[in-house]
Amino acid sequence: MSGARDEILARLASAPAAEAAPVERVPPPTMPADPEAVIAARLGQNGGILVANADRSDWPDHVDLPTPLADFEHVHCPGGLALPALGITRRGVGAHARTVHDLAPLDLCVLEAGFTVVENGASWHVPSSSLERAAALLAEHLVILSPRSALVPSLHDAYARIALRETGFGWFLSGPSKTADIEQALVLGAHGPRTMHLVLLDDE
């Protein structure tokens, strides 16, 4: 057996290698002519909704949620975002949570993304704490604010912007919670937010 094996290996070693075609680097996709249309389509496929033409002062007026924003009692919102603009008088557990269990009754979670990828509608977010990460998963509704000026055409550009050495945890968010484990029927919100809105904020 060893003789046959050696003969086969010797033939392989002496056989001329086929010439391989030179490697051609494919350039990453460029920004489409209508990036908002692409984002809206990708979000729609994932169960999310795009909100455009908004700014920091009026974006709540453009978000159509099943419950009026003013009726939400338990909200998580970034510290730099003024809650009065939401019409909310009580910050609820979002402001006073100390453990993940405190976030159980969370109605709404608002996050600020670093940028959004056009080709798949995903927004890059780095949670400020472990509680903010939990809030994004436990809230009934998720709203992501992303600057329009920070759109990138593809994941190639997205990865180039992420400083992995300086980031302990980050994630791409592109829709509400989804599962089809039971009878192959798609259900939104079984394990997380029931709705997700991506708000593109105009430059101030």
The confidence score (pLDDT) of residue 51 equals 95
Q: How would you write the pLDDT of the chain (204 residues) with one tens digit per residue?
A: 678 888 888 888 888 777 888 888 888 889 999 999 999 999 999 999 999 988 887 888 889 988 887 788 888 887 655 455 555 544 555 557 788 888 888 899 999 999 999 999 999 999 988 889 999 999 999 999 999 999 999 999 999 999 888 888 999 999 888 777 777 777 777 788 999 999 999 876
A 10 A CB-CB count for 120 gives 17
**Maximum separation of any 2 CA atoms in the chain, in Å:** 85
Pairing of strands 195-201, 141-147: parallel
CA dist list (Å): 12 to 25, 59, 64: 30, 67, 67
**DSSP assignment string, 157-200:** HHHHH--GGG-S--EEE-SS-EE-TTTT--EESSSS-SEEEEEE
Which tokens is 193 given?
Answer: 């937010």
Neighbouring residues of 40: CB distance < 8 A, sequence distance ≥ 6 = 50, 121
The confidence score (pLDDT) of residue 117 equals 97
A 10 A CB-CB count for 141 gives 23
Element spanning 142, H or E: strand 141-147
**DSSP assignment string, 74-124:** SEE--TTS-GGGGT-S--THHHH--SGGGGTT--EEEEE-SEEETTT--EE
Which residue in this structure is represented by tokens 């057996």? Answer: 1
* Nearest in space to 89 (alpha carbons), one of 75, 105, 106: 75
Q: Which domains does the chain have, with CATH numbers?
A: 34-201 (3.40.50.10420)
The confidence score (pLDDT) of residue 95 equals 59
The confidence score (pLDDT) of residue 37 equals 97
